[in-house]
Amino acid sequence: MALMMGKVEPGFGCDAAGNPQPGLVHNATVLVLPPVWDTDPEIGWGRVFYAFGSDFGDAHLRVAVHNSNSNGGWRVSTITVKSTDPVARVDAWAGDDKISICRIPTSATDKADAVPVGYRVEAVLRA
C-alpha cells in the first residue's frame, strides 16, 4: 500500500458558485496521482482511493480530477467535508493522473477559508 497525505491549502480558489478565480489559483492544491489499475500487467497498483477530512468546521471543496483516458478531460465535483462525518470520498477511475483541489466559499461573505482539511490518496498494491 502507498499513501500520500497532506493538507489542502488555505484560502478560497473559487467563487461561491464554484468557478475558479484567476487571481486566487495560487490557493489550489495540485497532486500527481498514482495510476489506477486498468488491466495493464505492468502497473503494480490495484484500487486507488481519494479521501478528505476536516475538523473545527465544515469545508466546501471543488475537486477536479484529470483523466488521461478521456482526451484531457476533467471531471469536477463539489463536495462538503463535514467535521462531524466520516471522510468524504471521490471515486478514482482508470486513467486519473492529477487532481486539483480548492476551497469554495458558501456565500459571497464567507470568511472561513482556513478550516483544516486533510487529504489522503491511498493506492493498494495489486495481489
> Following DSSP, what letter does each residue of 16-62 receive, concatenated?
TTS-B-GGGGGG-EEEEPPPPP-S-TT--EEEEEEEEEE-SS-EEEE
* Per-residue confidence in pLDDT tens, the chain, 127 aa: 778 899 999 999 999 999 999 999 999 999 988 766 666 565 566 778 899 999 999 999 999 999 888 776 899 999 999 999 999 999 888 888 899 999 999 888 888 899 999 999 988 876 6
pLDDT at 69: 81
Residue pair 104/62 in contact by the 8 Å Cβ criterion: yes
Integer Cα distance of 44 and 122 in angstroms: 13
Residue pair 36/19 in contact by the 8 Å Cβ criterion: no
pLDDT at 90: 92
57 grid coordinates: 468546521
pLDDT at 112: 85
Instruction: Check: pTM over 0.75? Answer yes or no.
Output: yes
Dihedral, 100, 22, 11, 75 alpha carbons, nearest 10? -30
